[in-house]
Structure 1
Amino acid sequence: MPLAVYVLGLSVFALGTSEFMLSGLLPHIADDMNVTIPQAGLLVSAFAIGMVVGAPVLAAATQRLPRRATLLALLAVFGLGQVVGALAPSYEVLFASRVVSALACAGFWAVGAAVAIATVPLNARARAMGVMIGGLSIANVLGVPLGALLGEGLGWRSAFWAVGAASAIAFAGVLTLIKPIPLPERHPRLRQELTTYREPQVWLAVVMTALAGGAVFCCFSYLSPLLTDLAGLDEGMVPVVLGLFGIGALAGTTVGGRIADAHLFGVILSGITGSAVLLAALALFGQNAPAAVVLSFLLGFTSFFTAPALNARVFNVTGTAPTLGGATATSSFNMGNTGGPWIGGLVIDAGLGYRGTAWAGAVMALAALAVVAGSLALRRRRGGDGGRPSTVVASSEQAAEVAREHTPKPAPQPAAD
């Protein structure tokens, strides 16, 4: 892996901490802002909506801008969004700060993923995405539990200040450790790239990714009150369980990233099936504290086990759209991160309790498996992923050519940025 990929992964740590840390802060935010927990849960959806919208828009808007400068600008906006969130006097301001932060986060993901994919061979795409997603896993291992601890000891606003500091460190890392990245010799043609969305496999990849992510976040977004109200755990134990979820996520990302390039659909099917079983088990046995703890760890593993493969799948079927490929992957995951907490809130408001969020997640996972089966059936019927070579990469040689066109070339002068 090139150094740039690891630096991007470390930067994603700050972004991921902000995206996921609310799962341990919802009760505190709800009390301070005088809103219900489902309303506080909409802050998770607000971030995800910003990611869905921001990824394609910013990927298109920044396609002709220097890559490193774009990454730095997005990190700066993201950090300012955390500061505004920490100072927010009302729920509405906090909501707006989450959307702005999400837009910057989405742009970083889209640009960063495109850079990571373009700097590695075709058969290392899932590993490269595994490194970036590893930043999310570390965010779950360290960032989310630490955010919950800060929320317990110093108030939820201190967690936002901490993420702002982490984003400043990420800014320094990108500035000092990633060299100026010249633009591709051939500028992307967005109108041509948009034709890739005529391909059914692209939409099947988007839907399976959204459902797989939504299944987990439907429950995970409300894991803190589930653990305290249903399982009866003390609030002080919540950061520990969130840390276990993160350890499982890191292990899942590591294992999934290593084998997904060779067994992509096998990883997707087994991971989503595992998540469906574990969510159903959490619904059935969540009132038992030891069971809830163990199931939270295992759910972290299965949910992130599939992430590198799902990312690589999106990139594979959008192979001739390198500008929009990263944006499509980012938007797909965050469609699930938007819908999952929203559905979970509806379930809670309907009187089904926090146990109901796990049942709803299990149903979404089963729907994701049905979409995966449909994608495989279409693939077998066609003898490949696409019927039109112009929209889907039909061979490894063609994919390599696309990658070469968009791989940064050595700059004639160091002032390329």
Structure 2
Amino acid sequence: MSETMIEQNETSDQGAWGAVLSMSLCVAMLIASEFMPVSLLTPMAEGLGATTGQTGQAISVSGLFAVATSLLITTVAGRVNRKVVLVGLTALMLLSLVLVAIAPSFAVLMAGRALLGVCVGGFWSLATSILMRLVPKHEVPRALGLMYGGQAIAAAFAAPLGSYLGDIVGWRGVFWALTPVVALNLVWHLVALPSLPVETRASFGTFGTLLRRRYFLRGLVAITFTWGSAFTMFTYLRPFLEDVTGVGVDALSALLLVLGGSGFIGSSLAGRMVGGRIERMLCLPALVMGACTAALLLIGNSVIATAALLAIWGAMNTAMSVIWMSWMSRNVDDLPEAAGGLMVAVIQASILLGGVIGGFLLDLLSIRATFAGGVVLALVALALTGDGRHLLNPDKET
């Protein structure tokens, strides 16, 4: 191979990883925009004159639109260049932040959250399949780990900063602060992402083909309870920390920083540890996160114990996405966009389910009941996942 060809390959590799980094920042902004209200739930409820449970459920409306978009994006977008689609979704995210920041009522708030749901569903449906085109197959877990590092960044800084800044500039000011970063990311997409023409157009019949694969359908059911458990707890974490752990704004911000900061460890380790035996890792998210939630019910009144448990929970939270998306990339690599759409639809429906169940238990009983509900869902997820072997494509070597 000539020196010129080597230099061209190195330039191509650098450009591919630059595009991955651009997507990682987009992930960070999506996560910050979608889950920032977790750290602002109490003041948002007060500002809009609603209960905490009602506000949590209203915020979760983004999940409903994410579900619809994830199922429609590959068919509605048709043969539109995927770079154009990602740029358009990022522009919608910018608009949604402005709407939430100026929201004078629940109607406008929900409109902004609905637009955000479109962005979330569209981006996540295409993200893994795009990474599979940007980097070599053996580098996909690493690229996923890097992209989900954006999730860790958001979890590490968005929630505690949101809690801290919300006390200074108000919850609306926090959402305004996100807009220039999203605008910058929009420009980065335009520069870094290569042209991504669509090779084959998916149809609704493609979803039927996937759902007839029993191993994939079983995986979707396991994912439902895994994410549902996580977000029954996570959506209502602030009320738990305020009422049970008994922390103020400063300690709350510190605990959220611990939870998010540990996500760096989770995404980094998962990207490196996902090996040939992916099925052995599928049960870990429900097992570890469910156990942490159960432990919080027992010793959540201790700030130190709570910090330790949130660190473990946060690390597994980011690892969870890398693990399950790696499973998808290896077992459904012939239809990655359609598979990604179905997975995102199920994940977003599960997040919505967690918000609704958690809010219902909180308003009807107590925050402890909300966390107990999350533990029950984790146990169901564990039973469905088992050793993971029944979730593998029988036509592939493992």
TM over 0.5: yes
Picking from 176, 199, 219, the partner of 1:205 is 219
Counterpart CA distance in 2 for 1:113 and 1:159 is 30
Amino acid at match of 2:138: N
Separation in structure 2 between the aligned mates of residue 198 and residue 183 of structure 1, nearest angstrom? 25
Q: How does 1:70-149 map to 2 (within 5 A)?
A: 70-149=85-164
- For residue 381 of structure 2, the aligned residue among 343, 368, 374 is 368
Trace 1:25-44 onto structure 2 (pairs within 5 A). Answer: 25-44=40-59
CA contact (8 A) 1:51 1:105 kept: yes
User: Which position in structure 1 is the counterpart of 2:70?
Assistant: 55
1:354 CA displacement: 1.5
- What are the within-5 Å matches in structure 2 for residues 274-289 of structure 1? 274-289=288-303
Name the SS for the 2:386 alignment partner: helix
Q: Distance in 1 between matches of 2:289 and 2:277?
A: 18
Q: Give the equivalent residue in structure 2 for 1:303.
A: 317
**Cα distance in 2 between the residues matched to 1:269 and 1:163:** 35
Q: CA deviation at 1:348?
A: 1.0
1:294 & 1:50 partners in 2: Cα distance? 35
Do structure 1's residue 166 and structure 2's residue 181 form an aligned pair?
Answer: yes
RMSD over aligned Cα atoms: 2.0
Moved more, 296-305 or 148-157: 296-305
Amino acid at match of 2:277: H
Q: Do 1:54 and 1:106's aligned partners in 2 also have CA atoms closer than 8 Å?
A: yes
Alignment partners' CA distance in 2, 1:302 and 1:56: 27
Amino acid at match of 1:181: L
Q: CA deviation at 1:16?
A: 0.9
Per mean C-alpha deviation after superposition, the further-off stretch among 363-372 and 192-201 is 192-201
The 1:36–1:182 alpha-carbon spacing in structure 2 relative to 1, beyond 3 Å, is same
Residue 188 of structure 1 and its aligned partner are, at CA, apart by 4.4
The separation in 1 between residues aligned to 2:127 and 2:149, in whole angstroms, is 14
Residue 413 of structure 1: aligned partner: none
SS for the counterpart of 1:320 is: coil
Q: Is the 2:206–2:338 contact (alpha carbons within 8 Å) kept by the matching residues of 1?
A: no
Distance (Å, rounded) in 2 between the aligned partners of 1:193 and 1:15:
25
Q: Tell me, yes or no, if structure 1 residue 191 matches structure 2 residue 205.
A: yes
SS in 2 for 1:155: helix
Taking only the aligned residue pairs, the percentage that are identical comes to 26
Q: Does 1:177 align with 2:169?
A: no
Task: Name the amino acid aligned to 2:98.
Answer: V
* Aligned match of 1:234: 248
Letter of the structure 2 residue corresponding to residue 127 of structure 1: R
Q: Does residue 1:272 correspond to 2:280, yes or no? A: no
Deviations, residues 66-98 of structure 1 (Å, cap 9, x unaligned): 111111111111110110111111012101210
Query: Structure 1's 385 and 111: CA in aligned 2 closer, same or farther, altered over 3 A?
Result: closer
- Whether the 8 Å CA contact 1:214–1:340 is kept in 2: the answer is yes
Cα distance in 2 for residues equivalent to 1:167 and 1:238: 26
Compared CA separation, residues 360 and 373, structure 1 to 2 (3 A): same
Whole-Å separation in 2 of the counterparts to 1:396 and 1:128: 22
Q: 1:322 aligns with which of 309, 330, 336?
A: 336
The structure 2 residue matched to 1:246, chosen from 241, 246, 260, is 260
Aligned length: 383
Paired residues of 1:123 and 1:261 also in contact (CA < 8 A): no
| CA apart distance, 1:217 | 1.2
Question: Given that residues 193 and 321 in structure 1 are in contact (C-alpha distance below 8 angstroms), is that contact kept between their aligned partners in structure 2?
Answer: no
SS at match of 1:253: helix
Which amino acid in the other structure matches residue 286 of structure 2?
I
Structure 1 gap ranges (5+): 387-393, 398-417
- What's 1:395 paired with? 396
Please say which of residues 23-32 and 253-262 is displaced more in the overlay.
253-262
How far is the alpha carbon of 1:190 from its aligned partner? 5.3
Segments of structure 2 that go 5 or more residues without pairing to the other structure are: 1-12
DSSP-derived class of the 2:283 partner: helix
Q: TM-score, normalised by structure 1?
A: 0.86
